Structure 1
Amino acid sequence: MRRIIPPAGAPRKLALAQLTNSVGDGAYYVVSVLYFNRVVGLSPTAIGAALTLGWALGAVAGVPLGHLADRRGPRGVAVLMSLVTGAAVASFLFVRAYPAFLVAVCVYACAQCGLAAARQALLAALVEPARRTETRAHLQSTVNAGLALGAALGGVALQLDTTSAYLTALALDALSFVVSARLLHRLPAPEGAAHTERPVGERRLAVLRDRPYAVVSLLNTVMLLYMPLLSVALPLWIVRRTEAPEWTVSALLAVNTVSVVLFQVRIASRVTGLDSASRSVRHAGYVLLLACLVFACSSLATSAWAAGALLLTAAVIQVLGEMLLGSGSWEIGFGLAPADKQGQYQGFYGSGTAVARLIGPLLLTTLILSWGFTGWLVLGGLFLAAGTAMGPAVRRAHAGTAHRASLGTGAAVEGS
């Protein structure tokens, strides 16, 4: 159980806060689109347009909101963003006009991105550098467990298929963010976390001028394309291009969730600095390439059992690559960020998730459904190229960080 439950203190309290709202998020992810379509009365195109705009704004908002966490303290900003997210979800219970829905979606996405940046900054402030990746792995395991539980509750709402069931699921998500805010507020305020004034001569939003860090973040965004692969492209591939039964989609998602809960912390324990983190991401590129090859071969199987076996094998390989990537990526994101600018740097680094979710569905469905086997090879090549390039990019960014630290213009390098 020590591999799953975080150590006592700040790590366990952070995990409990994320567990709380991830349960609500799991229910939200399952029912939200159908609720917006069947109850609110919006077309799938209108819903998609609103979500696209919302996450595009969220990707931009993460940096200034992270900067706010640096200046005012990550705990207070995390509490505020959690409450704003809960309020945005609660507004979905009442909005029926598209303009109001569009505003609510944009507020929701921006607050979610701001919350992610503030929570990362809070973790960096409360947990010593040597334990940050391990703690982040615990949080990831916790989030997956919460999402699975919430998805089960959302599945009940889908089965009932009534307005009250959908409203209950959304209300649960809104309430979960309020409870999470309360738990975050009970964490100790990091010492020296808040600065009301910027040091003389320091540029605002310095991360936007840190080109080596931007390159690292871009490579990480490419690797994060595995996210829409699981949620969008793979289900369509299974249904349209393989002989496997439709329930295989749920089985593969269950394999992914359980694997992360059980093994993410164990894999993350092998990452102890930037060198091992870069190596972990490089290995993730190889593993994800292999997963793409096996997924591609599933279309060649002539029976449901053969296709299902190939898909299951590919899913196991893929989740290994996902865990290797996460372990290395977290260490890199923390280790290359100045200690007094973790909020804005984590906001920038974390925007890769929003970007991957924004462009990934269209890119991957075009590659995989239109190009078939060749598309899988191209996607695997992208994973391999990004994973291989991460090492040199990290070394360059690390050298720049060390140089700034020696000049007294940046924080001490961590994780090396």
Structure 2
Amino acid sequence: MTNSLVPPAGPQRVLALAQLSNSVGDGAYYVTSALYFTHVVGLAPARVGLGLTLAWAVGSLVGVPLGRLADRRGARGTAVLLALATGLAVASFLTVRDFVPFLVAACAYASAQSGLAAARQALLAGLVPAGERTGLLAHLQSTLNAGLAVGAGLGGLALHAGTQAAYLGVFALDAVSFVVCAVLLVRLPSVAPVVREGRRDLGVLRDRPYALLTLLNTVLLLRMPLLSLGLPLWIAGRTDAPAWLVSALFVLNTGAVMLFQVRMARGVTGITSATRAVRRSGWVMLAACAVFALSAGASPWVAAGALVAGAVLQVVAEMGQSAGSWQLSFDLAPADRVGEYQGFFGTGVTVARTLGPLVLTSLLLGWGTAGWLLLGGATLVASYAMGPAIRRTHASRPDVRLRVPVN
């Protein structure tokens, strides 16, 4: 690989360009949507929060059937249709002026996004050899962060303008970005649908070992709202560190993932190395939580130093956990149900985003140092509990044992 930041030419690069396209639009959407819905649409903040929570709950439920649809009807065609559906859902936000239409549009947006994520994973599995998937996912994560950063900058310009036209332009940009994503996905080779004989059952929902693996991974993902919610509230309420550090820590995390995620993923090549990566990330996350806790009651610059050191440890843990979980989610899924299983595994992200704010605010603001240590301890326990869950899942998969031996 000649450039660690650019995937090889061919399907891998096209997938990265598609990721870049819609992440630019999403970055602009994320930084402006709350003010758009409250200031332009006129909804109360509590109703916006309720609507988005309900929407992502619906999205987590439909991710599995949409992933199954990608397996059975073809991953490329399903991904293209869901990318267009996402763009249409974003465009519909431009016309809503009341809570019920907003809720309907938000549910459509979350459902299409969840299904698109599962379909793209199935498409990736069909086009990229097993040994190259984790490396490509690392590239896609770097691309995602780069696109979000660019989009956030564009959204910042709209916030600075503060006009309705500027907000509408951001939403139009996000809608167009998903159309561009769909056009890029059309350029990929098609992936033949999987034909399965026999009765239809609950599929992944009956697969207890994989369900346990997904649950434990969800615990590890509770750190997701840390930079956007947990640390800002901690810095403001429990430390004397300068407020601008919130932005600096976000930039540090985003830049580190852009530059080092691919390198961090290179050592993850199979089930055993993925298990080790997840366990190491548990220890590093525990250390990060302990260092974050040291910032309470310290002088401003000592607190700032502890927060920066903790953020460095946290992003190292994040990159290791991400690489390990990507490898495991693919390697332990049946070859004929990748979309369905990826749709289910991806619900962990939605659950973490939904429950994470409540968990983090309760632990960190309510319990202080003890809360940080409990968060780190829970992460370490979950990372080690994944070992037996992985072995049990691997043992129950004759096709996986032949397809992906433990390295």
TM-score higher than 0.5 here?
A: yes
Name the amino acid aligned to 1:20: S
Q: Give the corresponding residue for 1:398.
A: 394
Name the amino acid aligned to 1:199: E
Find runs of 4+ consecutive structure 1 residues off by over 2 angstroms: 410-416
Matches within 5 A, 1:1-400: 2-190=3-191, 193-195=192-194, 198-201=196-199, 203-302=200-299, 304-400=300-396
Give 5+ residue unaligned stretches, structure 1: none
Measured in 2, the distance between the counterparts of 1:242 and 1:205 equals 49
Measured in 2, the distance between the counterparts of 1:220 and 1:327 equals 12
Q: TM-score, normalised by structure 2?
A: 0.97
Name the amino acid aligned to 1:331: Q
Q: Give 1:414 deviation, angstroms.
A: 2.6
Q: Give 1:412 deviation, angstroms.
A: 4.9
Name the amino acid aligned to 2:216: L
3-state SS in 1 of match to 2:397: helix
Measured in 2, the distance between the counterparts of 1:60 and 1:343 equals 14
Q: TM-score, normalised by structure 1?
A: 0.95
The Cα offsets for residues 355-379 of structure 1, whole Å up to 9 and x where unpaired, read as 1011111111111111111111111
Name the amino acid aligned to 1:21: N
Q: 1:119 to 1:3 in 2, by over 3 A?
A: same
What's the RMSD between the two structures over aligned residues?
1.3
The Cα offsets for residues 46-82 of structure 1, whole Å up to 9 and x where unpaired, read as 0110011011111111100000000001111111111
- 2:404 pairs, out of 396, 399, 414, with 414
Q: Give 1:415 deviation, angstroms.
A: 6.0
Check conservation: 1:130, 1:415, Cα contact below 8 A: no
Check conservation: 2:238, 2:297, Cα contact below 8 A: no
Q: Give 1:205 deviation, angstroms.
A: 3.9
Give 5+ residue unaligned stretches, structure 2: none
Identity %: 60
Name the amino acid aligned to 1:194: P
Check conservation: 1:401, 1:413, Cα contact below 8 A: no
The Cα offsets for residues 176-225 of structure 1, whole Å up to 9 and x where unpaired, read as 001001101111102xx214x54124x43411111000011111111011
Measured in 2, the distance between the counterparts of 1:263 and 1:292 equals 21
Measured in 1, the distance between the counterparts of 2:135 and 2:220 equals 20
Q: 1:348 to 1:77 in 2, by over 3 A?
A: same
Measured in 1, the distance between the counterparts of 2:319 and 2:100 equals 39
Q: Give 1:401 deviation, angstroms.
A: 1.0
Measured in 1, the distance between the counterparts of 2:62 and 2:381 equals 29
3-state SS in 2 of match to 1:200: coil
Aligned length: 405
Name the amino acid aligned to 1:399: A
The Cα offsets for residues 72-110 of structure 1, whole Å up to 9 and x where unpaired, read as 011111111111111111111110011000000011111
Q: Give 1:285 deviation, angstroms.
A: 0.6
Q: Give 1:411 deviation, angstroms.
A: 9.2
Name the amino acid aligned to 1:263: F
Name the amino acid aligned to 2:193: A
Q: Give 1:245 deviation, angstroms.
A: 1.4
Q: Give 1:413 deviation, angstroms.
A: 3.5
3-state SS in 2 of match to 1:318: helix
